[in-house]
Structure 1
Amino acid sequence: MPYVDVDLNDHPDNTAGVSILPVVVTPTICNLGVERELVDGGAGLNLLSPKVFHKMQIGERKLLPSMPFYGVTVWKMIPLGQVELPGTFGERVNFRTENVVFSMAYFDLPYNAILGHSTLAKFMAAVHYAYITLKILGPSRVISVKADVKWLGHCAERLYEAMEAISPDDGERLEPSAPPPPPPARQRIIPDDATLTKAIRLRDDPEKTVMIGAQLSEK
């Protein structure tokens, strides 16, 4: 029985970006080669863009209701629905196909689809992020899926541009080294009737005074 392993044949020609480049592959989903598909072992669901879904000419009548979710972007996402589609990795002589449940939603990311940990478990796949390679047990031997090199740089660049454009307070935030603004000065509130009083001398003791309303007579 074959086992999943990596060797020198999987070593990339250039290791400059192995720590920052995403694992982007091109599997076949419902007989359509889907480029720019992110393999994300930390994702709890599988996403599919509506653009790719419409290219498959399946029809929205097969979509099932789906709940909103968080974590993909900074906003809550409301999917158009869920659909189960066959996904295939490998070649004609050695391939593996499993049904994958996708949530179809609009997401502002440079990917056409995202494969989460549930799909990796179903394919019994292992992701090697240093080699940017996906390994899957096939019927005759291990299926080695190399990352799509032509899309790696493009996706990483788009992600950094999107992150720079995101600001939780519309860009009005202090730099880490900037001191916080001083608190507003407290204003002393004087009652309105304080300006409506006057001092008068007591008849019995002229050296003493008393405050009375300005509108009152001294008598």
Structure 2
Amino acid sequence: MPTICNIWVGRTLMDGGAGLNLLSPEVFRRMQIGERKLTPSAPFCGVTDGKTVLLGQIELPVTFGGRDNFRTENITFDVVHFDLPYNTILGRLALAKFMVAVHCAYNTLKLPGPTGVISIKADVKGSVHCVERLYEAVATTSSDNVEHPETFGPPSTKPRLSPDGHTPIRENTLTGAEPEGK
């Protein structure tokens, strides 16, 4: 996993779909940089239920690799003020800056280094820990909410039409039953 500002940061999510690089406040405090170094930033939407208020933005050096073959790039992070299951999230802009290639089958990231390819294996235990935290957060949130009939319940029985507008399409549900005609 990466070293950010000379601190090894575990529980890092590499999210090629995210447009943000997020840093948790606890990791930021461990870096002992001080909040005065943060630059103001506008809130953003889509990560939490409403607007997310930031503590600020900061550009920090991020390093991948070991002593003999490493690569460092400066990445701009949004320091967020909500509980993340991860210590940091590196989005597509950071991954593009490092020219990362993701190999899902091997659960590995590869990026060019000065003396060859740098391979980073996923931390499976850390991933499981983060998934457990996410599951707990979702379970807590969903038990607090009332189920809405329009979002939960059986699928619509209204027939759908194919792109030509004439042929009905039959939808199969995952109930374990074989579809008709098989």
TM range (shorter): 0.7 to 0.9
C-alpha separation in 1, matches of 2:106 and 2:20: 24
Instruction: Give the structure 2 partner of residue 96 of structure 1.
Output: 71
Instruction: Give the structure 1 partner of residue 7 of structure 2.
Output: 32
TM-score norm. by structure 2 comes to: 0.78
Determine whether 1:83 maps to 2:58: yes
Determine whether 1:127 maps to 2:102: yes
Determine whether 1:176 maps to 2:153: yes
C-alpha separation in 2, matches of 1:145 and 1:28: 12
C-alpha separation in 1, matches of 2:145 and 2:8: 38
Which one of the candidate residues 29, 36, 41 is aligned to 2:16?
Answer: 41
Which one of the candidate residues 142, 158, 162 is aligned to 2:133?
Answer: 158
Instruction: Give the structure 1 partner of residue 43 of structure 2.
Output: 68
TM-score norm. by structure 1 comes to: 0.65
- Structure ID, larger Rg: 1
Query: Mean Cα displacement is larger for which, 111-120 or 162-171?
Result: 162-171
Query: Mean Cα displacement is larger for which, 158-167 or 94-103?
Result: 158-167
Contact 2:24 2:84 (8 Å CA) reproduced: no
For structure 1, list consecutive stretches of 5 or more residues without a partner in the other structure.
1-25, 179-219
Aligned residues: 153
CA-atom RMSD, angstroms? 1.9
For structure 2, list consecutive stretches of 5 or more residues without a partner in the other structure.
156-182
SS of residue in 1 equivalent to 2:109: strand
Q: Which runs of 4+ in 1 moved over 4 A?
A: none
